[in-house]
Amino acid sequence: MPIWLDQEDLSFLRTRISEAEIQLESLENQMNELKRVYEAQISELMPQKDAKLVEIASYRNICSPVRRVPQEILSSVLELCCLPADGIWSSTYDIIRHTSILSQVCVAWRKAAHSTPRLWSKLCI
């Protein structure tokens, strides 16, 4: 059974639809403006957040267990890494390259490498 609306009812409904569409557009505009403002604020905060992440990573690195290893043990580890496994020196074994790479890791490794005479006792030129 169809519902028949007279002209006045149809006009009223069309007016309500039009008003609701205008209100919807206004709400969408307000939401877009808020989004734009918040995105700008977020963009301003991102570098600060990134800097804090770097700061936290730096602090965590400082607290890492390897930083508490005594220098004598670290020197022994560097010797194991840099010296030839069979103890035989050859002109093809590049201890300078191995030692210099490990001494560039951090200050503690550099100190350990520079204070380990065995690493520097054989230089092939």
Per residue in 67-100, pLDDT tens? 888 988 988 888 888 777 666 655 555 666 677 7
* Among 63, 78, 107, residue at a domain's last position: 63
User: Is there a single domain that holds both residue 55 and residue 87?
Assistant: no
Q: Which residue has the tokens 């403002």?
A: 37
The answer to whether 80 touches 112, Cβ cutoff 8 Å, is no
Task: Tell me if 12 is assigned to some domain.
Answer: yes
Work out the pLDDT band at 122, boundaries 50, 70, 90.
Answer: low
Q: Which of 49, 30, 50 is nearest to 38 (CA)?
A: 30
Residue 23 to residue 75: CA distance in whole angstroms = 74
User: Is there a single domain that holds both residue 13 and residue 58?
Assistant: yes
Q: Which of 112, 120, 105, 119 is nearest to 74 (CA)?
A: 112
Task: Tell me if 2 is assigned to some domain.
Answer: no
User: Is there a single domain that holds both residue 110 and residue 76?
Assistant: yes
Which token pair is 97? 């390259």
pTM value? 0.49
The answer to whether 99 touches 113, Cβ cutoff 8 Å, is yes
User: Is there a single domain that holds both residue 59 and residue 99?
Assistant: no
User: Is there a single domain that holds both residue 59 and residue 11?
Assistant: yes
The answer to whether 54 touches 74, Cβ cutoff 8 Å, is no
Residue 102 to residue 115: CA distance in whole angstroms = 13
* 80 vs 59: which has the higher pLDDT: 59
Task: Tell me if 44 is assigned to some domain.
Answer: yes
Work out the pLDDT band at 4, boundaries 50, 70, 90.
Answer: confident
Split into its structural domains, the chain has a count of 2
What domain range is 83 assigned to?
Answer: 70-120
